[in-house]
Structure formats: structure tokens, C-alpha cells
A and B are shown apart, each in its own frame.
Chain A
Amino acid sequence: MKLQRELQIVNRLGLHARACAKLVKTANQFESDIVLRQNEHQADAKSIMGLMMLAATQGTRLTVITSGADAEDAMTQVQHLINNRFEEDE
């Protein structure tokens, strides 16, 4: 199964190191491949360096693509984390 969804980074600091770490940890719970795409840049959600190098600031629109057996759960969790500002206050 393959899913694709547009999401926006809403937390103030953007995809900073600790946010990336949380995203990697979440992504690692799934078998599916999880990719974040921003224009021509693309990052594996299981690679912290890749995510950090996306340099996605607050307001950045990303395309999340999950593909694999648990693609649906993966998408739900990733979406929840991003929309929930990585559990940060602002």
C-alpha cells in the first residue's frame, strides 16, 4: 500500500534536531518506507541526518509518502506527531 499526504510543519522551531529524533523514532516503529519530500529534496524519515538536512522551518509544506504493509498506521502516526508540534509547547 502506498499513501501520500500534504502536511505543514507548525511548531515554531521547525524540523530541529530533537523533533527529527522523535520523527525517526516514530518512523522506526514501522516496516513501511517513509519519505518526506519538499520540492526536489527528499528525506528518509528513518535518517536523522536526512531530516535535519531538509531544513524545514515553521510553515514549510511537506509531502509525506508511506509505502508498505503498515503504510496507513505509519501515516497516521507521522501526521499526528507533526500536527501535534512534536509535543512541543509552541
Chain B
Amino acid sequence: MLSLSGTGIGRGIAIGRAIVLDQGHNDIPCYHISATALSGEIERFNHAVDAVRADLKRVQRNLPTDAPPETSAFIDVHLLMLDDPVISQQPVQTIQEQQQNAEWALKSHADTLIDFFEDIADPYLRSKKNDVAQVVGRIMDELAHSPGEQPPDLATLGSSLAEQIIVARDLTPADTIMLRGRNMAAFVTSLGGPISHTAILARSLGLPAIVGLHDVIDTIHNNDLLIVDAATGTVLVAPDEPLLTQFRELQQQHLEHQQRLTLLKNEKAVTQDGEAITLLANIELPEDIEGLRSAGAAGVGLYRTEFLFMNRPKPPSEDEQYQAYCHVLRRVEGPVTIRTLDLGADKQVDGSRPDSETTATSALGLRAIRLCLSEPSLFKPQLRAILRAAVHGDAQIMIPMLSSLHELEQSLALVGEVCAELEREGVAFNSKVPLGGMIEVPAAAVSADLFARKLDFLSIGTNDLIQYTLAIDRVDDSVNYLYDPLHPSVLRLIRTVIRAGHEADIPVSMCGEMAGDPAFTRLLLGLGLRHFSMEPSQLLEIRQQVRQSTLAGLPGQVTDILNCVETGSLYDLVDQLNQIDG
């Protein structure tokens, strides 16, 4: 048995069989070969080597008479390299012993060889690594023409993945959409931190996940029995029977805890000292509404609209969006805060921006409201669809990633323009839809009082706020460790935004991951937050936490935390805060 450790997401325990998705990078596929398919895979490799040899010999035979005399000698070199055990036999051993696909087995040997040549001092001899790369490249090309047993692919996997655990290098936003509703038990990924797409998906589905396992993920093979324990961030590979029994019991206990929480569904989210707290849900797909109902959310604090735009060549029409928003508005009691398009950065519309060279956007690039304002043809249909749908329910518009007041003015002008258009056209719409801003850029947080004067509500997006404040690239695995919701600067910015809202007398909510983490509930209450929006799976846990908390006294304790200069005792202080009996 093996025990691997990474970053755990959620708290549950899952037991199931691994489905290892293609782990390849740089276009070289990497997957596990089942024992029965091994001989076929070896044959595929040998065929590729034979084909390259035949090809080289053919070229050598048919050399033009005026070819330089050393050409044939160079081809000889490649032929001899092809027949060298390092190239033609060792990969076969690796396929056999490690049950790896031919491409990956070849790559691992070629990498070793190329690394070796890189270290040679003599520049002429060092350049021979190019010959290795050329010969290996020819075999790779051959292998690409005769694909082997295909690795599991999200598109081809069955619609139900019950009791199966998805193991992947990383999940993209598009992957996470495809995985919804397929009942898998857990996720395990090599990359990613607490706010990676995998983590957010896992939380929204209420599933355990382990992210950031790095290279050790390669030790997991298809169909291995796994135990995933999110609380400790551990993956156990091929556990023995006593361990399985132990974890089945823990799993049962967790289930019972969840069931006890469901009793809270109809209880009010009121603190011990009688203050009502608004608990809202973050949703993405129409089917998320079910989870929101069963957890008794007071409404939707964040409706992500990106999914409407993803995995398709063209953006959806105004009418298609109108139908989608109506669907949600008619089914949700309470307000529905619709966030306008937050595309760009790591969430790209497939195919709609063909010129990827100029539109490769970073987290600091042309995305969200920046993209929308630069492309009114993308933004206006969405605004029209929301204003029209708002006739059928309590809709609010939320603008993501505001950083300057100018953007806010432009957005307000655009909304005014769209209203005038709809008026002229005689189309039914709601002209009184509240307009709010997401405060997730430090610039907007610092000047939240100015934004608050022009907006109907503010919503703090903690994922981006933390990333921007601490200068962390969310997709760079190597700096994930810096991600710290308790960083004093983050907490101070949150406090600034909440105060700005109170002073302007407009509601402030929080829709980032922090809002759904019970470890931070009391801290946020102490900072003055009264509206929390989270993945539906977190609602009951947070409700319990709210009901066990007393507001009086919290602000003082929280001030201590904000002024704490010992990073070690910061977490102790938050722990203490959480252990006080309500």
C-alpha cells in the first residue's frame, strides 16, 4: 500500500477505483496499459521502430547522386541509434514493467539520454543530442500514426462514474462542466491549490478532492483501489482490508454528520444573540438549483454565467441567455445575483477567439468587465437578456473585476443605453434591476467607499482578491503555498469593503471560497459580514456555525487577529475564536 499526500479539499472520505485521465504534457500522451494489452503495446512500439528503420533505409537507397557524401553516413548513424538497446529495447522493458504506454516509455528514456548529452563539455559532441531527438521524434511520429489503447477521455467515459475516482494532471473549467452530474466519488490531481478549478468543482459537488499531489500521482494506475481522505489530504493506494474497514466506518460517521446537518435545513440562520444572517448559494448550472433548495438558501449570491459560453464555438444568442436566466429566476425564491461574463484568463471560450496569440489573457489581462467593455457585441446581449428576464424574478446584476471608477461609469452608461433600446423596441424589461460590483481587485477594495456611492451592493470575491493582493499566479503550482486567506492585508481589505458598504448603507456580501469555509465564519461575522454566498454543499455547515456563534465580543477578538504580528499564532487565534461555545 502507498500513502500519498497533497492538499485536501472538503472533508469527506471516498473509496473507489481510479480512472486515470491522460497525464500527458507537451502533446506526448501518458497513460496506463492494462496487463492484457501489454503485448499489443510492445508490438506497436516495435512496429514503429521497424517502420522508421525501413523508411531510413529507403531514403538511404534513393539518395540523389549529387547528395553530399556524408549524408549516407549520417543516415547510418541514425540507423545504428535505432538499433541500439537504449532506444529499441529499454523502452520495451519499461512498457512491460511499468505498464506505461509506448510514447511515455520512449520519452522517459530519451529524456535521460538528452540530459546526459546536455552535460557534455565539448560543444560538438554535445550537439549530438539533436540526433537522439531526431531519431526519437521519428518513432514518436510513427506511434502517433498508430494510436494504441486510448486513455480514458472525459468525452468517452460513461455517463455514470459511481464509485470511481477521477485522477488527472489538472482539470480545466471545461472539464469541470463535463464532469457535473456523473456521480464520481472524488477527484485527485497533480496540480492545483485550494482555489483551482478542481477544488471549486469538488466543493460545489460536495465531493472530497486531493489536489497538488505533484509527481507522486504517477504511482496511481487505472483501476487501483483508492481511499481519499480530504480532511488529512491523503490518498491511500491499494489499501489492505483492515484499513478499508476503518475508513468505511469514518465514511459512515461523516455521512451521519451530513445527515444531522440536513435537520438544520428549515432552521433560521440566526446567531445565539438573535442576529439574522443571510446565507446564499453560488450556482453555475440550472441543476445546481436543486442543491440550493435542499439546503434552504435564501437566494443566489453568485450565478456564474460562463458555462453558457463555454465548450461551444459561438457565444449564445440574447434569446438563449434570456431563456436560461428565466429558468433560474422562476425556480429560485429570493434574489438571484447574476454575474456578467467573467471570461478571459484561464476561462476561455472555445474557438470564439481564434487569434489566441493576441488574446492569451492572464489573470491580469483582458478579462471579465475589461473584455465585456472592449466587446460590446458580447456584453450588450447579456445585459439585455438579464433586464428582460428580470421581469420574471428578483434579478440583480453583478459586474466582475471592477478596478477603476471609469469602468463602472462605462458599465452604468451601457446599462442605460440598453434600457433605452429595450424601451424603444417596446420589449418588456425591468428598469429597476439593482446593479452591484464584485470587489476582487485590491484597487477597488481600497477605494470601496467610492464604488459604494454608485452601486446598489458590493460582493467580495475572495479568491481573486487574495491572489491579486498577495501577487500569486493562480495557475502557477509553485506559488500556491503563498495563498493565505488569513494574511493581514487580505483581512484588512475585507474589513475596509464591509465598512464602506455599511457607511453607504448598501449590502455587502462575500461570494468567494472563504464564505463557505466554516473555519472563517466567526472571523467574517466579527469583521461585520452579514451576507454569505457559497457552494450549496457548504450551506448547512455554515448555518450550523452561525447558529452556534454569538456576535457580541467577536469584533474585539477579530481586531486582535488583524493586529497579530506572529504568523504562527494567527491560526491559533482563529482556532480559539472557533472553539468558544456559542
* A residues at B contact (CB < 8 Å): 13-18, 20-21, 24-25, 47-50, 52-53, 55, 57
Contacts and interface: CB of A to CB of B under 8 A. Distances in A.
A17 B85 CA distance: 17
B74 A13 contact: no
15 contacts: A16-B124, A16-B125, A17-B128, A18-B74, A18-B77, A20-B77, A20-B80, A21-B76, A21-B77, A24-B80, A48-B81, A48-B84, A52-B125, A52-B128, A55-B125
B131 interface: yes
Interface in B182-196: none
Given A17-B74, A17-B77, A49 B125 contact: no
Contact of B80 (A15, A16, A21, A53): A21
Nearest to A57: B122
Nearest to A15: B125
A61 B128 CA distance: 21
A49 B124 contact: no
Interface in B368-389: none
Contacts of B84: 47-50
B70 interface: yes
Interface string B377-413: 0000000000000000000000000000000000000
Contacts of A52: 117, 125, 128
Contacts of B76: 18, 21, 25
| 10 closest Cβ pairs, A-B complex | A48-B80, A55-B120, A49-B84, A17-B77, A49-B86, A21-B77, A18-B73, A21-B76, A55-B125, A57-B122
Interface size class of B (residues with CB under 8 A): 20 to 34
A21 B122 contact: no
Contact of B86 (A14, A47, A55): A47
A15 B121 CA distance: 13
A50 B85 CA distance: 10
A48 B73 CA distance: 13
A55 to B, nearest CB: 4
Given A49-B84, A49-B86, A49-B113, A16 B70 contact: no
Contacts of B349: none
A53 B117 contact: yes
A47 B117 CA distance: 16
A52 B81 CA distance: 10
Q: A17, A25, A53 — which one has the most chain B CB atoms within 10 A of its CB?
A: A17
Contacts, number: 54
Contacts of B126: 55
Q: B87, B120, B121, B128 — which one has the most chain A CB atoms within 10 A of its CB?
A: B128
A69 B350 CA distance: 67
Interface string B84-124: 11110000000000000000000000000100110011101
Contacts of A57: 122, 125
Contacts of B70: 18
A49 B77 CA distance: 10
Interface in B51-79: 70, 73-74, 76-77
Interface string B142-160: 0000000000000000000
A16 to B, nearest CB: 6
Nearest to B83: A48
A55 B120 CA distance: 7
A53 B116 contact: yes
Nearest to A44: B85
Contacts of A47: 84-86
B122 A55 contact: yes
A90 B113 CA distance: 29
Nearest to B122: A57
Contacts of A55: 120-122, 125-126
A14 B81 CA distance: 18
A53 B126 CA distance: 9
B84 to A, nearest CB: 4
Contacts of A18: 70, 73-74, 76-77
A21 B78 CA distance: 9
